[in-house]
Structure 1
């Protein structure tokens, strides 16, 4: 059982929860400070963390099950656990069910609004994996799905949903969509050949990288806007500037002629960006 669990956690890249979890915490902190003038309680931290882990684990596992046949035919993904026969779909489905149980139980422990909004979250968690079959806007759907992390943190800590939270949602959603477009450039030719939809397969590598830059510019503007419309101060703004510099550096690593550093741009830099935003937001309120 432990071996199978290790395979599943490796398959869903469990460590990449670092992309979304800091933004969930950021949403919880901002919501608590802006709405209530206080910090999230210890148990709110615990339940928000469990909800995020459950949501991402369920979403990534569903994606692997739904895309199993696609992954099997793609040389880049053929060695993933399900196509390689390392684990069965039934075992994954049990893990998905357990992940959803964790998500639902954690939301129930937070507040009623978190419970009421669960169907929306589950819808996006499930539908994303199918979008590449019918729309090149799948990257935006993924962005909206990850953007639910700060919204979930905000709702979980306060039981409210305000327009400031929506601005934060836009910032995170377009940041995610931008780096997902960069990641998808690796499969542009394959997606086009087999009839899958993506921005790179629809518009080509060069134009896709330009669209990714546009998404990141709007994301940066949204994050700066939080400085204007909330009590956030200069420490937060310094964090946003650093995040913007990371996005610029991320784009400098890839070009239409050289995609060899997509892995660095996608995994390393985005993990750093989310942690930077979290640390500087906390630092702003503490200082």
Structure 2
């Protein structure tokens, strides 16, 4: 049962265990890490898993490295939480001006700034411990992402397409799986990274449709506002680029028919999303955004089947 005094945020999963069963003192910190919104760590994780599967196909392995995949899972949950905590620290004043975000733990006063900073450090330590399990090149590659992560929360103040910077950060895993497997990068993971960036820009544009009116009032820039009435076209272009780059990556590693069959299903899913976009339907936009987890899992499952066959 939901405890009084800690209302769920509008985009949280209804009835999530973090809202129902977590101790009252812990719950605001779980919300700061977006634990009750698992779609975020799924979307951070999937490019890592794609990259691990791409590396396995290239190496002729029967499946993606399971230890790496588990480490990426732990790291995605920790670093997504750390990124959200950092974002909320930076945006704590802006969040008070947007309906969907003003009940977040920091702007609502449920968590102090000092508490948020300590929680950020704790999550960062978990992420570091995960990263240190990989080879030296992968560790360096992981550290290289921090600059982009640090930059993102500030971009919405002056850059009309902050989703591009988010994509640079959220798609970084497309490099990590390959780096962890081989200790270097090549064109295949770079193309996968470019495709993942375009995917992030597309789905986060859909997500931003929820806030378009409040963002205009608060002066927050987003790709949803930038595309305006042409948002379907904008997302469609992003998704088309996603498919072009991922096709090129799979071609370079001589992927088999399961990977391309999975990519076709992935493409159909992305096309369905574009067809269903409605600028006036915030709830529908959230459903479409969340559906990208399933789209990404389809592609990963197909690439894993390709390894096995």
Q: Same fold (TM over 0.5)?
A: yes
8 Å CA contact 2:33, 2:82 repeated in 1: no
Report the CA distance between 1:37 and its aligned residue: 4.6
Q: Which residue of 2 aligns with 1:219?
A: 242
Q: Which residue of 1 aligns with 2:73?
A: 49
Listed one character per residue, the Cα deviations across residues 58-89 of structure 1 (whole Å, up to 9, x for unaligned) are 11111122111111111122222222222222
Which is further off, 58-67 or 77-86? Answer: 77-86
Matched ranges for 1:80-91 at <5 A:
80-91=104-115
Q: Which residue of 2 aligns with 1:7?
A: 28
Matched ranges for 1:1-287 at <5 A:
2-14=23-35, 15-16=38-39, 17-35=41-59, 37=61, 39=63, 41-204=65-228, 206-267=229-290, 269-287=291-309
Report the CA distance between 1:241 and its aligned residue: 1.0
In the aligned structure 2, how far is the partner of 1:26 from the partner of 1:72? 37
Report the CA distance between 1:33 and its aligned residue: 3.7
Report the CA distance between 1:104 and its aligned residue: 2.0
> Structure 2 vs 1, CA of residues 37 and 252 (structure 1 numbering), >3 Å: closer, same or farther?
same
Listed one character per residue, the Cα deviations across residues 223-250 of structure 1 (whole Å, up to 9, x for unaligned) are 2223322121111111111111111111
Which is further off, 11-20 or 28-37? Answer: 28-37
> Structure 2 vs 1, CA of residues 168 and 249 (structure 1 numbering), >3 Å: closer, same or farther?
same
In the aligned structure 1, how far is the partner of 2:300 from the partner of 2:187? 20
8 Å CA contact 1:182, 1:209 repeated in 2: no
> Structure 2 vs 1, CA of residues 110 and 142 (structure 1 numbering), >3 Å: closer, same or farther?
same
Report the CA distance between 1:51 and its aligned residue: 2.9
In the aligned structure 1, how far is the partner of 2:57 from the partner of 2:247? 18
In the aligned structure 2, how far is the partner of 1:230 from the partner of 1:41? 17
In the aligned structure 2, how far is the partner of 1:95 from the partner of 1:114? 25
Report the CA distance between 1:188 and its aligned residue: 2.4
8 Å CA contact 1:182, 1:262 repeated in 2: yes
In the aligned structure 1, how far is the partner of 2:192 from the partner of 2:26? 34
8 Å CA contact 2:160, 2:222 repeated in 1: yes
Structure number with higher helix proportion: 1
TM-score between the two structures when normalised by the length of structure 1: 0.90
Provide the aligned length of Structure 1 versus Structure 2. 285
